[in-house]
Amino acid sequence: MADFNEIAQGYQSFLQLPVYRDVEAFSFEKLIGDCSDLSILDLACGEGYYSRYFRQHGAARVVGVDISAEMIRLAAAQEHSDPLGIDYRVGDARDVELEERFDIVSGAWLLQYARDRDGLRAMCTTIAQHLKPEGVLVGLNLNPIFSADGMALAKYGHTRTPDHAEEGDAVCWRFYPPQAEPFEIRTYQKSLASYAWAFEHAGLTRPEWVPVSVRPERLAQDGADFWAYFLQHPPIAGLRSRAMC
């Protein structure tokens, strides 16, 4: 895994790019839907981008958990300057235990850090243990079936190598933030079957993979040709699942 303590500032700068604001965030916010009055656990909350979004859009309670103390420091600094009542904690999604259950568990860029299906199952077990009976998991992830030219993604702000990965392979992402040095993140390939296996063994329904889309205003501004490669070969995907009854 990348050491997020070292790249936290660069990651924060990356959040300004259209591929984040107008594709990832746009798609994820659509997946989340109305979060009014809901309780949300934001696993792998990073510097708190979505935790703040949830509170600003009516969530009643938000707890953000991340393994990186530096990411949580950045999140807490923003909470300090603009308090929203978000509860941030350092913790590992593979074994964190909170004494409450949530309407939604958010996992935006979490499951791809599991090295194998057992690591995935550990994260999914944490998710299942923190969902209310009717609760849902909403996530963003590397697309497990991506197989295209990962360098052709450079014009959107990041590349990925290798073009095609097998179970357990490291998948490296190089990011080009507007106001910081490029940085790399390493994630791990798991097959669709491994995701399904881990979800079911943890007590979650099989993940429903949801394609991402580009915010219409951004598409109109850049032109459909610009985003065509990204949308034909999406490197990322949304996902949704529920606690199994």
Ligand X SMILES: C[S@@+](CC[C@H](N)C(=O)[O-])C[C@H]1O[C@@H](n2cnc3c(N)ncnc32)[C@H](O)[C@@H]1O
Q: Per CB under 6 A, does 10 bind ligand X?
A: no
CB of 172 to ligand X, least distance (A): 13
Q: Which residue is nearest to ligand X (CB)?
A: 46
CB of 208 to ligand X, least distance (A): 20
Kindly tell me which of 160 and 228 has the beta carbon lying closer to ligand X. 160
Q: Per CB under 6 A, does 183 bind ligand X?
A: no
Longest CA pairwise span in the chain (Å) = 49
Binding string, residues 75-114; x marks residues near ligand X by CB under 6 A: -----------------xxx-------------xxx--x-
Kindly tell me which of 54 and 230 has the beta carbon lying closer to ligand X. 54
Alpha-carbon distance of 109 to 141, in angstroms, equals: 5
Please report, as ranges, the residues that interact with ligand X according to CB under 6 A: 1, 4, 44-46, 49-50, 66-68, 71, 92-94, 108-110, 113
